[in-house]
Every structure is written in C-alpha cells, then in structure tokens.
Structure 1
Amino acid sequence: MAPKPKPKAKPRIVVIGGGTGLSVMLRGLKEKPLDITAIVTVADDGGSSGILRQELQIPPPGDIRNVLSALADVEPLLEEMLNYRFHNGAGLAGHSLGNLMLAAMTDISGDFVSGIRELSRVLAVRGRVLPAADQAIVLKALMSDGTYVTGESSITKANKRIKRIAIEPPDVEPLEDAVVALQEADAILVGPGSLYTSILPNLLVPRLAQTIEQSDAIKLYVCNVMTQPGETDGYSVGDHLAAVRDHIGHHLFDYVIVNNSEIPPEIQQRYAEQGAKPVKLDLDDVRRDGYKVIADRLVYFHTYLRHDAERLSHHIHQLVEDWMLRKR
C-alpha cells in the first residue's frame, strides 16, 4: 500500500504593523491556507494600554489584543467580550476586558510573551502573535519646525508635520522569535496602519528591517486608504514609501497593494471634517521607483472606511502562491 502523500506545507507569512487596519486584514488572511505570524508594535502609550503599561510595567497590550481577537477562532460573543470597554467603575472605566485579560495572563505566566502565548492557546488563535520587542518602546518625533514631541499619543495631537521618528531606547533588543520568523518567512507583509506610530516603530527596532532586507521572501506593502490627521496629511502612496525608505535607508518592498476605487463624495466630506483625505495614487511615480503595484477596489464603507478584508487577502494569497511556484 503506497504511503499517503504529505500535506503541502502552508506558506509562512509574517505580517508587521499595529492598529485597526492590521486587525481588519488579518480577519481575511486567517481564512486562507497560510501559516501566519503577526509582529505587533509595542509603542502605544494612550488610553487603557498606556495606563497598564505605566502601572504594571508591561508592554502596551492594546494592539496585541486587537490582533489576538482578529485571529481568534471563537464565537462572535466572546470576541465582542474581549473588545468590551468598561464605561463605569473606579479604576475600570476606559479599560477593555481583553487588555485586562492579557495583563492578568502576563502576571500568571511570568512574562508578556508567555502571556500572549497562553492567551492565544485559550482563544484558539490561528497563527502566532509576537511583540516586536519584549519591552515597551517610547516614540520621539522630530517635527518640521525643529521641535520634538515624545510619546505616541502626543505625536498626532501636536498637529505638526512629522520629519522623522525615532524609538527609545534606540538599542532595544528585538524579540528573537520575531527575528527567526522573518528569517524563515516565505512572505513578509507590512501595513496597513499608522505610518509613523504603528509601522515605522516596528521597522526601527534594531535587526528587524535588516532581517527583512536580507530575506529572499516576497515583500509586500499595503498602503492606507486615507491620510491620517497629524501624521500623513497630504501624503500620496509614494510619500508613504519614501518615508519608509528615508528611515530605513533603502527600498524594502517588491509589491505595493493600493486602493484605486473612487470614494463617494459624501464619505470624503465626512472624513474631511476630521482632516483626512484619500491617499493619492501616484501610480507612475511609484512604478518609476521600482515597485510593482497591485491596484484594485479594496474598500467598503460601514460607519468607517475599511479595507475589504476578503478582496485584499485574495490578492495577498495569490501573490504568495505565485511566488512559491516560481521558487520551486
């Protein structure tokens, strides 16, 4: 009797970022036959995350909790409970239950990384979730007027144009599991998310960008659909890529995935009232800079503009599959 053929190994994809955009995309990617590792920023210092970071001396749990929730294989009610935010109660108001659970699991297991791993097991997370470093990072921004602003939550509130971002301590050690995941990846995906406060803080952790550069994986960048007030005002797709290149010192990506659908005027007006506009697609300039571009209708509107997770994950999976075929 002939032995059964071994099942084909899933392509290993490492996704880097933080914030809502990353979580939305991961909800689509987890439905694809991919081995997912998410490397998540630890620079948040506002709200519930900032309080827990300061009082318990742990990395901020908020972005990690969002990613765990997105990758969890649980009933919708449990996911809603994880994201539930208390509105009343001395000491409880403002905290999300998932943040408190992650803080508790950190205390029970002895460290933040073990806490994430144990909570991932409880939630049946499809993939691995890793912080970029096992300690909190402080962001410091040099503004175009020469002033400095310290703290992730203060940078966008400063309402000034960001010239450069840095992390403190600058020599923070990356999580070794994150470095190994990048070394073993078949595909590396950065974004979507806040350029200066979610994406670049990960890439500025020593050795992470260098490891990406040295990898022979396919490297993808998912650009935001809208500009972010106080962070990327007036930015085009090319401006996002230029900011990464200026901070890292070289090109990092093979492909850029962008939205090319028109956003209805009434939705644009709603966002304009908050200071946000559609990110301009300067297609010719981006291609001239050496990037391959995947452009499609990648958004839908339900209260807020969001990436279409199903359509976006289809493009990503197809690119990864084609890349794997060419490597064989």
Structure 2
Amino acid sequence: MIAEEPTKLTGKPRIVVIGGGTGLSVMLRGLKEKPLDITAIVTVADDGGSSGILRSELQMPPPGDIRNVLISLADVEPLLAKTLQYRFSAGSALAGHSLGNLILAAMKDITGDFVTGVKEMSRVFAVRGRVLPASDQQIVLKAEMHDGTIVEGESLIPKAGGKIKRVFIEPADVSPLQEAVEAIREADAILVGPGSLFTSILPNLLVHELAEAIVTSQAVKIFVCNVMTQPGETDDYSVGDHLQAIYDHVGHHLFDYVIVNNGEIPPQVQSKYAEQGAKAVHLDLDEVTRRGYKVIADRLVLFRTYLRHDAERLSHHIYQVVESWMVRKR
C-alpha cells in the first residue's frame, strides 16, 4: 500500500500536528481516519531510555516519539505494530531498546541521515501523512526552577522536585527542519498537544522559526489540553495555566480554539492518579474565554490501564473545527 499523495493533489485540508509523547500518538490514531492531510512535527528533546542511549551513542535525534507517531499513522497489521513497539528485556546491549528505535537507527545509517530514514520508514509502513522531526540537530532541554536551580535534560526535569519557572533549549538558535516550517506555512489547521507541556510541547515552540511560522500563519489554531496534571511539571495547573505557560514562552496568543475534557473521571481512577501526585486539570472556563479562546468541552477520556483521550471523539471535534474553518475560507 502506498502512502497518500500530498494535499495539493487530494484536496484534503492540511493539518499540522505538533507535540510528542503518548497523547499525540493516541490522538493521531483517530485523526488518520478523517479526510485530512496530516503532517506531524515531533519533538527531538527526549534524552531518556532507549532514545537517550541511541541519541548519545549514534549522534542522532531521539527516535522514540517519532517511532510512536509512525506506528499511530501506519496502515499495518496489529501484530507488526506490536512488534515495532517490542522492548527487549534481556541482553546487556539490547535491554531497554525497542525494536522500532533500532530500525530507525538502522534506517538513518542506510539512507545517510535521520530525516530520510524516517521518510523511507514511512513509505514502507504506508504511513497516512508525513512525520517530521522538529529539527535534525541535537537539542538539549533545560529548565530554570523557581528557586533558581537549572536542571539539564528532558528526562530529569520532572524528577527535579521543584516548580518550573521556564524551560529553554540549547543551542537557542537551533535551525528547524525546513520541511516542517513549510508545512506550517501551508497548513489550513495547526494543532498543538496533547502531551507533556514543558518537555514535549514547548521544546517545539522554542524553535524560533517554527514558532514564528505558527504566529504568522492564517490557519485555524487549536490547543488540546491534557486531561491530568503531570507531577513535576504541571502540578495544580488549570487549563488557563497551560495556556499562560505557552504565552509566557512564545510571547504570543497562539490559539483560536481550546479542546478540553469535562467528562467525569471515576473516583477510583482519580485515587489511582492521586497516588502519583496527579489530578484532573481544572477548566477555569471564565478565565479562558475572557482571554479570547473558544472552548470546546466534552467527555473526551477513556480508562483502561491509564486515562487516555477518546481518539474517535477528539478527532471528531477537531475535524468539525477544521471543516467549519475551510467553509468560511471559501
């Protein structure tokens, strides 16, 4: 099966999705079923686990978030998807590595660079859309805590035990992937989130040229807020706090729409998350609407082992916003 042609040929609305982490992958499983031309721009700040080892030893962007997004958008049998996610548990060299990460590392060597390797892997797995790293350069994420401490490394920031004042990247003038910039400039819709606010979302927006392209874009811009707070990152954050943190880092009011969960979370599920220091993100509706955001609130969660966004319901709301925007543009 061949990956879909670009929007210029299909006429589908062009949507750029920006972020990283599990939440982004879950959402994309729903979006790929809609008549949209999807480009996913994925963070390259990860430095933990298998991704961190490969990044350090092979001097390549971390593959983990890219792998998850590729699998979410791929048109493959469930067993193959499960195989790509398989993580070795034995062997001094293999333990902790996922097979998909190792394949991406191999594709980088075979094709000559990481971006081309991702494109070829997308073709092999019939990915519905494009998957692009935010940059093909090494990025180090750092956080300044409220007590003035500087924490270096994406994987260590949530473990620092303090309150984050701001995050920043080094080098500060990192160059984005130009294809990612062009995708934003040509987009009909730009979607940010869900995902870890300081360690998955903001690293993309701190790439100056990417943020500038979003600010100047005439696309409809949507923020999907996390369902739960994240210990060490967004403790006690409301929806408005998430939006304020983005504004403080970027310096612009980015979004037209905010999509949030207002479905009830069962008490036993809340208790399970409370043990880890997490709780439901509070929707401070009056404050968010006062700032000019249009809010779409619905029951958007499913619970199995963990709380996850309901990909089908979430993608329905996103598509409705995009479709309405396209009608107004005509």
TM-score class normalised by the smaller sequence? over 0.9
- The CA deviation string for residues 246-305 of structure 1, in whole angstroms up to 9 with x for no partner, is 000010000000000111110000000011000001011000011000000000101100
Equivalent position of 1:265 in the other structure: 267
Structure 2 CA distance for partners of 1:144 and 1:7, relative to 1, 3 Å: closer
For residues 302 and 8 of structure 1, the distance between their equivalents in structure 2, rounded to whole angstroms, comes to 36
Equivalent residue in structure 2 for 1:67, among 66, 69, 72: 69
Partners in 1 of 2:47 and 2:168 — Cα distance?
15
1:237 is matched with 239
Structure 2 unaligned regions, length at least 5: 1-7
1:295 aligns with 2:297: yes
* TM-score when normalising by structure 2: 0.97
Q: Deviations over 1:215-271 (max 9, x none)?
A: 000000000000000000000000000000000001000000000011111000000
Alignment pair present for 1:16 and 2:18: yes
| One-letter amino acid of the counterpart of residue 197, structure 1 | T
2:145 equivalent in structure 1: 143
Q: How does 1:16-55 map to 2 (within 5 A)?
A: 16-55=18-57
Question: Alpha-carbon deviation of 1:136?
Answer: 2.1
Deviation digits for residues 79-111 of structure 1 (CA, Å, limit 9, x no counterpart)? 000100000012000000000000000000000
Q: CA deviation at 1:7?
A: 8.3
Secondary structure of 2:137's aligned partner = coil
**CA separation in 2, counterparts of 1:68 and 1:249?**
31
**C-alpha distance in structure 2 between counterparts of 1:252 and 1:133, whole Å:** 21
Aligned equivalent of 1:179, options 159, 178, 181: 181
Structure-2 separation of matches of 1:222 and 1:257: 5
For the residues of structure 1 that align with 2:239 and 2:277, how far apart are their CA atoms? Answer: 18
Q: Kindly state the Cα deviation for residue 159 of structure 1 after the two structures are TM-superposed.
A: 1.3
Aligned residue runs from structure 1 range 112-131, under 5 A: 112-131=114-133
> C-alpha displacement at 1:8, in angstroms?
6.2
Deviation at 1:32, TM superposition (A): 0.2
**Secondary structure, aligned partner of 1:152:** coil
How far apart, in 1, do the equivalents of 2:301 and 2:232 lie? 23
1:162-311 to 2 correspondence within 5 Å? 162-311=164-313
CA distance in 2, matches of 1:83, 1:191: 22
Write the letter of the residue equivalent to 2:25. Answer: S
Matched, 1:324 2:305: no
Corresponding residue number in structure 2 for 1:83:
85
Q: d(CA) in 2 for partners of 1:276 and 1:283?
A: 21
3-state DSSP class of the match of 1:207? helix
Question: Mean alpha-carbon deviation: is it higher for 202-211 or for 18-27?
Answer: 202-211
Identity %: 77
Q: Which amino acid aligns with 2:39?
A: T
Large movers: runs of 4+ above 3 Å: none
One-letter amino acid of the structure 2 residue matched with residue 236 of structure 1:
S
Quickly say closer, same or farther: Cα 1:120–1:291, change in 2 above 3 A.
Answer: same
User: 3-state SS of the aligned residue for 1:193?
Assistant: coil
Q: In 1, Cα distance between the equivalents of 2:288 and 2:43?
A: 26
Cα deviation, residue 135, structure 1: 1.4
User: How far apart, CA to CA, are the structure 2 residues paired with 1:26 and 1:251?
Assistant: 25
1:54-100, Cα deviation, whole Å (9 max, x unpaired): 00000000000000010000000000001000000120000000000
Match of 2:316? 314
Q: Which residue identity is paired with 1:313?
A: S
